[in-house]
Amino acid sequence: MVRSWAAVLSVVVPLSLSGLANAGSISNNSFQSPALNGPLAVNIYKPDGNAPQGGWPVLYLLHGHDGNENSWRDLGDIQATLDRLIENKTIRPLVVVMPGVTNSWYVDSGAVGGPGDYEMALTRDLRHQIENSLPVRKDREGRSIAGLSMGGFGALHLAYSHKDLYGAVASLSGAIWQNVPSSDLDKSPAELKLIEDSAFFHKVDRSTITSGVVLPSTGDHFSGAFGTPFDARLFNEKNIFTLVSQSIAEDEVLPATFITCGDDDSFFLWRGAVALHETLQAGGRPSELRITDGDHVWSLWKTSIVPALQFIDAQWDKTEEIAKD
Residue 12 lies in a domain: yes
Confidence of residue 10 (pLDDT cuts 50, 70, 90): very low
Residue 138 lies in a domain: yes
- Predicted confidence (pLDDT) at residue 9 exceeds the cutoff of 50: no
Residue 282 lies in a domain: yes
Residue 240 lies in a domain: no
Mean per-residue pLDDT over the chain, rounded: 89
pTM score of the predicted model: 0.89
pLDDT (tens digit, 9 = 90+) per residue, 13-60? 444 445 566 799 999 999 999 999 999 999 999 999 999 999 999 999
Cα separation values, 261 from 47, 99, 172, 252, Å = 28, 22, 6, 27
Segment holding 312, helix H or strand E:
helix 298-313
Question: 282 is in which domain, residue-wise?
Answer: 5-179+253-313
pLDDT (tens digit, 9 = 90+) per residue, 273-290? 999 999 999 999 999 999
Name the domain count of the chain.
1
Q: What is the mean pLDDT of residues 221-242?
A: 95
Please give the pLDDT value at position 214: 84
Q: Is the dihedral of CA 200, 204, 206, 210 positive or negative?
A: negative
pLDDT (tens digit, 9 = 90+) per residue, 140-178? 999 999 999 999 999 999 999 999 999 999 999 999 999
Residue 203 lies in a domain: no
Residue 75 lies in a domain: yes
Residue 24 lies in a domain: yes
Read off φ and ψ for residue 158, nearest 5 degrees. -70, -40
Q: Is the dihedral of CA 161, 162, 168, 172 positive or negative?
A: negative
CATH number at residue 76: 3.40.50.1820
Residue 292 lies in a domain: yes
